[in-house]
Amino acid sequence: KLSNRLQTVANLVKQGARIADIGSDHAYLPVYLAKQQVIDFAIAGEVVPGPHANATHEIKVQAVQDIVSSRLGNGLAVVTPDDRIDTVIIAGMGGTLIADILEKGQAKLLTVTNLVLQPNVGEPRVRQWLMKHHYEITGEQILKEDHHIYEVLAAQKTTQTIRYSEKELLFGPQLLKELPNPIFTEKWQAELKREQQAIQQMKQAQVLPQDRIDHLQQKIRLIKEVLNDEN
């Protein structure tokens, strides 16, 4: 059985997909999807030898070697054209690292129509990358598990130009459509408090980098607006 977080990621993978799960660790996700007969093929990619060994072991124990291939390498370097990967999954890392892996792996994304991404932090960074590279965000989920709030994003390649507003980049275009949502509220109330404290501390320490304060104040304004609209 998967964690809630990984189950939410799994639910966004299409029947018959050929996936690359980058940073797969124990390969729990591709193994689960193979056993559930959701996917036709998977690469479990890992850059660190320890987790790579765990993935290889798990794939063998669960007897899904015919479907899941364990590979050691950095980011999308583990993908070859022969794999005909159509879906890339990157879960459980920061948004900057996720965007970086996608940016460096662009040559491997030519056949990739679907992305499922679960940044632990820095979601706007991921949305920005998607917007810039013509991936439309088609689904977003927010969930709480073990005192953490996670967001999961599904995106699809499009030929159209996508324009997300500052607000959509921050909160998520799909999540904004589905308000009110108690977990969303909880996340942004906590975030609002954090930003307000950050400003307070800067004022107390008498460090007032104006651009940083402007940025925080703009963010606070947007959070208040969204939380107000919600209620």
Query: CB–CB of 115/142 below 8 Å?
Result: no
- For 28-46, the DSSP string reads HHHHHHHHTT-EEEEEEEE
74 binds ligand SAM (CB under 6 A): yes
Query: CB–CB of 152/180 below 8 Å?
Result: no
20 binds ligand SAM (CB under 6 A): no
From 89, 73, 87, select the one nearest 22 (Cα to Cα).
89
Q: Of 22-30, 160-168, 178-186, 203-211, which segment contacts ligand SAM by CB under 6 A?
A: 22-30
45 binds ligand SAM (CB under 6 A): yes
12 binds ligand SAM (CB under 6 A): no
Comparison of 54 and 188: residue with beta carbon closer to ligand SAM = 54
- For 142-172, the DSSP string reads EEEETTEEEEEEEEEE-SS-----HHHHHH-
Comparison of 75 and 173: residue with beta carbon closer to ligand SAM = 75
Comparison of 133 and 167: residue with beta carbon closer to ligand SAM = 133
- Nearest approach in angstroms of CB 188 to ligand SAM is 23
| Residue selected from 7, 92, 192, 219 as contacting ligand SAM according to rule CB under 6 A | 92
Tell me, by CB under 6 A, how many residues bind ligand SAM. Answer: 16
Comparison of 92 and 220: residue with beta carbon closer to ligand SAM = 92
Distance between CA atoms of residues 90 and 97, nearest Å: 10
Cα 169 from chain centroid (whole Å): 13
Rounded alpha-carbon distances, angstroms, from residue 191 to 171, 197, 224, 225: 11, 10, 11, 13
DSSP letter assigned to residue 15: T
| Residue selected from 93, 126, 131, 155 as contacting ligand SAM according to rule CB under 6 A | 93
46 binds ligand SAM (CB under 6 A): yes
Q: Which residues pair with 18 in a beta bridge?
A: 41
| Residue selected from 12, 17, 20, 22 as contacting ligand SAM according to rule CB under 6 A | 22
Comparison of 120 and 185: residue with beta carbon closer to ligand SAM = 120
From 156, 165, 107, select the one nearest 135 (Cα to Cα).
156
168 binds ligand SAM (CB under 6 A): no
- Nearest approach in angstroms of CB 56 to ligand SAM is 13
Q: Which residues sit at the interface with ligand SAM, rule CB under 6 A?
A: 6, 22-25, 45-48, 51, 74-75, 91-93, 101
